[in-house]
Structure 1
Amino acid sequence: MNPKNLLLIFTRNPELGKVKTRLAKDVGDQTALNIYKFLLHHTVSITKDLPITKEVYYSEQIHENDIWDTSIYNKKQQAGQGLGERMEHAFETGFKNGYSNIIIIGSDMYDITSEEINQAFEKLNDHDFVIGPAEDGGYYLLGMSKLKPALFANKEWGTNTVLNDTLQDLDKENKVLLEAKNDVDYFSDIEEHKAFQHFFQ
Structure 2
Amino acid sequence: MKKTNGQALIVFQKNPVLGKVKTRLAATVGNEKALEIYHHLLKLTYSQITQIQEIAVFIYYSDYLEEPPARVSLDSNHHRVQQGSDLGDRMRNAFWEVSEAGFENIAIIGTDCPEISAEIIRDAFLNLASFPVVFGPAKDGGYYLLGMNRLENSLFEEIPWSTSEVLKISAARLKDKNIPFQLLPMLSDIDNEKDWNAYIRLTLETK
Q: What TM-score do you get using the length of structure 2 for normalisation?
A: 0.89
Asked if 1:168 is matched to 2:169, the reply is no
Match of 2:43 in 1: 41
Which residue does the alignment assign to 1:52?
55
Q: Deviations over 1:126-180 (max 9, x none)?
A: 1100001111111100000000111000011111111111111111112101111
Q: Secondary structure at the match of 1:100?
A: strand
Q: Does 1:28 align with 2:30?
A: yes
User: Number of matched residues?
Assistant: 197
Between the aligned partners of 1:144 and 1:71, the Cα distance in structure 2 is: 22
Matched position secondary structure for 1:192: helix
**Within 2, Cα distance between the matches of 1:177 and 1:133?**
7
Q: Distance in 2 between matches of 1:182 and 1:195?
A: 13
Alpha-carbon distance, 1:57 to partner: 0.1
Aligned to 2:185: 179
1:98 Cα deviation after fit: 1.5
Question: Aligned residue for 1:86?
Answer: 90
Unaligned runs of 5+ in 1: none
CA RMSD for the aligned pairs?
A: 2.0
Share of identical aligned residues, percent?
A: 38
Of residues 50, 63, 66, the one that matches 1:63 is 66
Which consecutive segments of 4 or more residues in structure 1 shift more than 2 A? Answer: 64-73, 192-198
Alignment of 1:125 onto 2:129:
yes
The AA in structure 2 aligned to 1:182 is: S
2:142 is aligned to 138
- Which of 57-66 and 121-130 deviates more? 57-66
Unaligned runs of 5+ in 2: none
Match of 2:200 among 177, 194, 197: 194
Letter in 2 for 1:29: N
For 1:112, the equivalent position in structure 2 comes to: 116
Deviation at 1:48, TM superposition (A): 0.7
1:148 aligns with 2:152: yes
TM-score, normalising length: structure 1: 0.92
